[in-house]
Amino acid sequence: MKIRDLLAVAAIVVFAACETPYRATDVSGTVVVSSGTQKAFYDQYPNASNVVWSSYDPNVIILNDWELAEYESLDASDYAVAFDMDNERYYAWYDSDGNWVGSAYVVKDYTTLPSAVHSTISAQFPSYTIKNVNREYKRDRVCYEVVLKRDDSKVVLLMDNNGNIIKQKSKTL
């Protein structure tokens, strides 16, 4: 088995073991990423490691709610990249011209959320439980996409650092 094939299999195992709403679509090394896009990425994330590029696939690379997060529409000519930084697994998206669209990571420890975010959730959704949180970066904005559940319903919130709800979606289960 060639070393490249062995690395591809290892990457698949690593991604399959991760419980996140994101995955890389192509670990075979066949994605051709322009040098401009790579430069934009490494300029933005100079400390990134374990970098895996893939072509964007809306059926595979999924935020909890892409539209709620207000990311621009992408297609197969655009890129997704998974990488490690600051002891977190990050995901970023770049368009085909190398322009950064946004980045995110899964918040595993909800106690690290800003107190204003906790206060809003406690006040407005007291009977709900936090099920998932993504910290999302888009241009000059940092937001939290918070998934809340209770027995009969699910709410997805896009919140700023001050606990303000920017957008909200609700669903009866």
**Domains (range + CATH), the chain:** 3-103 (no CATH), 110-172 (3.10.450.360)
pLDDT band at 114 (very low <50, low <70, confident <90, very high): very high
Q: Residue 9 pLDDT > 80, yes or no?
A: no
Q: What are the angstrom distances between the C-alpha of 59 and each of 62, 89, 158? A: 7, 20, 21
CA 138 to CA 124: how far, in whole Å?
26
pLDDT band at 58 (very low <50, low <70, confident <90, very high): confident
Least confident of 5-19, 20-34, 150-164: 5-19
Residue 16 has phi, psi (to 5 degrees) of -65, -30
CA 36 to CA 60: how far, in whole Å?
25
Q: Residue 116 pLDDT > 80, yes or no?
A: yes
As a whole number, the mean pLDDT across the chain is 81
**Residue with tokens 């890389």, as numbered in its chain:** 24
CA 135 to CA 63: how far, in whole Å?
11
14's CB contacts (< 8 A; 6+ apart) are: none
The pTM of the full predicted model, rounded to 2 decimals, is 0.75
Hey, what are 155's tokens? 């709410």
